[in-house]
Amino acid sequence: MSNADQLIAHTLGIAEDRVTDGLEYQSIREWDSLGHVSLMVAIEEAYGVEVDDDLTLELRSVAAIRGFAAARNAEGTTREGADRTAAGGTVRGAAETPAKAPAGRRTVHRGLEGVVFDQTAVTRIDGAAGTLEYRGYSIHDLAEQASFEEVAHLLVHGELPDAAALEAFAKQLSAARELPQPVLELARSLAHAHPMDALRTCVSALGAHAPRRAAGTDESCDEAREAGIELIARIPMIVAAHHAFRSGREPLRPAEGATHAEAFLTVLLGERPTPAAVRFIDKGFIVHADHSSNASAFTARVAIGCRAGMTAALTAAVAAFAGSVHGGAAERVVGLIDRVGTPENAEAHVAAVQGRGEPVMGFGHRVYRTEDPRVRHLRSTVVELSEERGDTGGLDILDAVAAAMAPYGRHGVAANVDLYAGLAYRLLGLPDDLAVPLFAVGRTPGWVAQALEQQSNNVLIRPLLDYVGPQGRTYPGADAR
C-alpha cells in the first residue's frame, strides 16, 4: 500500500483494504464534509503544500489523491512543479481530471450535491464570500435593524412591510397564537416526550383542525399562505406550552400587544422576559429564519410539491430538521462547554477529537467556506446575556475553542450558527434539549416561504436512483433456498 493510501485510511479511520480507486468523497459515511477537511489538512502536512479551494475540489477521490501524490513524489516533494504557477497556484497533473462514471452508467451526485433543482427568489447564499441575504437584504442589516415580524413578512410576502402592513401582520400573528384546545391537551399528554417529538406530533395535529376543503380540491396559494402565517404564530406556542407542561405549570397568556419574541418567552419561561432575552430571541429568530435549500426546506418543497398542503409540508420539515446531522446537531453542540471544562483545555480537546477522526461540534458547514455570517450576531447577544447574568465562563470556553480551531478555518471549518446559540439558552435557564426546537421556531418563516415558492410554480420533485444490484434473477421455490 502506498503512503497516500495509508494517509487516507488513517485520516478517515477506515481499513486499508477499503482504499480503492472507486472510493470517493461522500461515497461512504466516514468521508463526509468534515472528514474531507481533515484529509486536506493531512495532505498539507504530509506533502508540504497549501491545499487551496481548487485543489480541495479536485481531490475528491482516491484516484485523484493517488495521482496528486505521484506527481508530488516525482517532483521530489518540492513546492515547485512544472505545472504549478510561480505564485503558488494549484498543482496540476493526474488530479486535474475528475473521475468519470463507468461507460453506460449515469453520473451519481450523492446527496444531490451540486445539483441545482430549481430557481429561487427567497434566499441567496455565497458560501465562498460568507454572504447570506433574504430577498436581497443582507443578514447583517436585518439582524441589526429589523424585527422578526418584519423579516417574517419579507419572507412570506416578498417585501418589507410599511408601518400599516407591519401593524396588520403583527395583529394577524397575535390573533393566530391561541392553539386549538385538543392540540393543547395533546401537548400536555406528551410532557414526557422530547420537545422535537412533541412539536412534530402537534404540528401534524394542527392539520386535523384546519378548515375542511371540498373533496378533491387542493389548497390554493392564498390558503397556503394563510395556513403558513398561522403556523409561524402557533409553532412557538407549541414549543412553549409543551415546556410549561413538563415544568409542572400552566402556560401563561402573553400580554396584549406583545411582540413575537416577548409572547414566546413569556409562555416558555412562565414570567416576563428581560430586554436582553427578548433581543437575543428576536435576533436568533432572524438569523435562523431561512437558509435556502437545506434538508428540511427541501423536504417541505417535496411535500407541498405533492399537493400535500402547508401543514403537511411543515410537519415533514420538522421531522427532517430533528435529525442529528441537520438541526439536531444544535443539541449536541451545547455539551461542548461541559466536555472542554475550561478555556485552558480547548487546544487539547480539539487535538483529541481530531485525532479520533471526529468533528468538533459547532464548527463547519456544508455551504460556507468562510465565517458563517450568522455567528457574529448570536455571539454579540450572548456577550450581553453573559454580562447581564454575571457569568462569562461559557463564553470564554467557546471563544478558546474557536481560537484552537482557527487552522481549520481556511478549509471552511469555522464556527457555525450552532456554536453560541446553546450557551444563550443555558443563560436563559433553559434545558439543552430546547436548542433544536428554538432553532425550528425561527426557521418556520423560511419553510413557509420555500413551500409557497414551490407551490406557485410547482413541478413534482422526482429524482432518479442508479440501480447497481443484481438483475434477471430466477425465483427459487421455498425448498430450494
DSSP-derived 3-state class of residue 434: helix
- What is the residue whose three cell numbers read 484529509? 39
Q: How many CA atoms lie within 13 A of 247 on its CB side?
A: 19
Active-site residue list:
365, 418
Sign of CA dihedral 269, 274, 277, 282: positive
Contacts of residue 72, Cβ cutoff 8 Å, sequence gap at least 6: 47, 49, 81, 91
Question: H/E element holding 137?
Answer: strand 137-138
Cβ burial of 61 (10 Å; 0-12, 13-18, 19+) is buried
Spatial contact of 15 and 24, defined as CB atoms under 8 Å apart: no
Q: Dihedrals φ, ψ of 199, to 5°?
A: -65, -50
- Angle between helix axes 295-305 and 435-456 (nearest 10 degrees) is 40
- What is the residue whose three cell numbers read 480541495? 56
Q: Dihedrals φ, ψ of 61, to 5°?
A: -150, 160
Q: How far apart are the first and last CA of the chain?
A: 40
Contacts of residue 150, Cβ cutoff 8 Å, sequence gap at least 6: 142, 160, 161, 166
Q: Nearest-CA neighbor of 266 among 232, 289, 243?
A: 243
How many Å apart are CA 263 and CA 241, to the nearest integer? Answer: 11
How many Å apart are CA 211 and CA 186, to the nearest integer? Answer: 19
CA distances from 314 to 109, 156, 182 (A): 26, 14, 19
Spatial contact of 304 and 298, defined as CB atoms under 8 Å apart: no
Spatial contact of 251 and 271, defined as CB atoms under 8 Å apart: no
Spatial contact of 282 and 148, defined as CB atoms under 8 Å apart: yes
How many Å apart are CA 463 and CA 117, to the nearest integer? Answer: 10
